[in-house]
Amino acid sequence: MQAMTQPTSSSSAAAHRGPFWRRLGGTLAGVLGLGLAAAPLPPAQAQAAVPQHWISYAQLASGQFQSWLSDPENAAVVRLHERLQQRMLDEQRNTPPEPVVVRVWVAPTGQVERVEFDTLGDAQSDADLRGVLSAQPLSEPPPRDMRQPMVLRLKLDFAV
């Protein structure tokens, strides 16, 4: 799986947030250079509104999540990939599923304390994703002034 930051308009919580959250998500997507289609604001305007240390932390977290979700030694990761691949085969899909939008809250210790996302289609896959993302702390705590949750898009690549 590849972690990408992206604002969401479908989330009811995100829908109530003002332009700041849209700029933050657009900035993170643009700064990370992860091939997202469009940011709500041009990157130069959006970057001015978001502190660099927030962007750096989102990059750190995204990289760690990507690493954890690609660990072939983790039984939950292997099971998650297998179930999602089987679902694609059952649905006779030629393309990977849409990225999963994940909202993540990180405690001052760096421990992921809360993860929210739309269901992956079955309770076991949901539990596996939640477990992988919250099983260990991030290598650094979030900046004290960083607003949460972080909103990430996890793109499936079945690299396990």
The tens digit of pLDDT for each residue in 75-134 reads: 999 999 899 888 888 888 777 767 889 999 999 999 999 999 999 889 999 999 999 999
- Angle, alpha carbons 101-35-89 (nearest 5°): 60
Q: At what angle do helices 123-134 and 52-68 cross, to 10 degrees?
A: 120
What is the reported pTM?
0.68
> Which distant-in-sequence residues (6+ apart) come within 8 Å of 32 by Cβ?
4, 5, 58, 59, 62
Residue owning tokens 């972080």: 150
Q: Work out the end-to-end distance of the chain between its first and last CA atoms, rounded to an integer number of angstroms.
A: 9
